[in-house]
Amino acid sequence: GTRVSNTQKKLEDNLGIETAALYASLSEYTAPDVVSRIRGDFFRRNISVLIVTERFHYYFRYRLRGVKRVVFYAPPLHSKFYSEFLNFIHINEDGDSISNTMYTNRDALTLERVVGTQHARNMIKPSAMNSYTFTFENE
């Protein structure tokens, strides 16, 4: 909706990033036949970006195939969803997988549920770094 359009405009105007990707969205109100079509199109790469609401995942828990990158607009309210979405990522031949989480100091409680109290405190300090890297090893 509006947030996506505004974000696209900011990326194009301020950073010169082209955002003309085909995208679709899934919410708890999306009809089952539309969900099936969108999931198939995403897996076959007919759709480049798939926007999924947290409520959609909460109610349906579909396995999303073909994921190369996960971007959280904010930390998920349910910390378990963070790892569930990261498990959707298909690891390529290089072993690289990418996930980004955008947050502000207002997301302190939800961030704390994902990374723990001390890490969250360090991450939201005014003097904190602009980005953090988490490394997960496959066993």
Confidence category of residue 27, pLDDT binned at 50, 70, 90 = very high
pLDDT recorded at residue 102: 86
Provide, rounded to the nearest whole percent, the portion of the chain with pLDDT above 70: 74
Residue (of 32, 132, 12) closest to 72 by Cα position: 132
- 68 touches 90 (CB < 8 A): yes
CA–CA separation, 137 and 100 (whole Å): 17
Enter the pTM of the model: 0.72
pLDDT recorded at residue 2: 53
CB atoms within 10 A of CB 53: 15
Checking if the pLDDT of 99 tops 90, the result is no
Checking if the pLDDT of 81 tops 70, the result is yes
pLDDT recorded at residue 98: 77
Residue (of 33, 34, 26) closest to 59 by Cα position: 26
Checking if the pLDDT of 72 tops 70, the result is yes
Q: What are the phi and psi torsion angles at 26 (to 5°)?
A: -125, 130
Mean pLDDT on 54-75: 90
